[in-house]
Structure 1
């Protein structure tokens, strides 16, 4: 088995974990802080707190987290076929 598949599977799992973190964070802030009467909401920079933390701050956090994951955990892999005999069938 090509070792690139092992790297690709590991990076795919990391991607799935990042999606789950993003959804859990968004859901927690949106539905945790967004409960109750809208007249009782607190505001951050003119946005309801649930919206600010789930959509604006959450996006900034996820961009930083993805950058760190890409820098420290992902590996650059060549997509070129290393063995020419595989392509030509020789």
Structure 2
């Protein structure tokens, strides 16, 4: 009989990979989407270029919130004991 903890660990690992892909897409999209123009024409937000603000500052805050939600909703405590328990 397979240990149910491996199924949970695999699902949580896939969720982690999806979160990394979302983070990269946000960073890449804003950094190269807004930052590809002439630097003298950049919009500024709080003294930062808009591309930097959205990709590095706002993107990080968004990802922290998204990760917190993912942990609360999809992740669950798993015992590390060797005993097979109902999970």
TM (norm. structure 1) is 0.90
- 1:81 corresponds to: 82
Which has the higher Rg, Structure 1 or Structure 2?
1
Unmatched runs of 5 consecutive residues or more in structure 1: 84-90
For 2:56 and 2:68, locate their aligned partners in 1 and report how far apart those are by CA, in whole Å: 18
- 1:49 corresponds to: 50
For 1:36 and 1:64, locate their aligned partners in 2 and report how far apart those are by CA, in whole Å: 30
Unmatched runs of 5 consecutive residues or more in structure 2: none
User: C-alpha deviations, 1:44-88, integer Å up to 9, x for none?
Assistant: 0000000000000000000000000000100100011116xxxxx
Q: Do structure 1's residue 31 and structure 2's residue 8 form an aligned pair?
A: no
For 1:76 and 1:33, locate their aligned partners in 2 and report how far apart those are by CA, in whole Å: 41
User: C-alpha deviations, 1:7-56, integer Å up to 9, x for none?
Assistant: 00000000000000000000000000001110000000000000000000
TM (norm. structure 2) is 0.93
Higher relative contact order structure (alpha carbons within 8 Å, sequence separation ≥ 6): 2
Quote the RMSD (CA, aligned, Å): 0.7
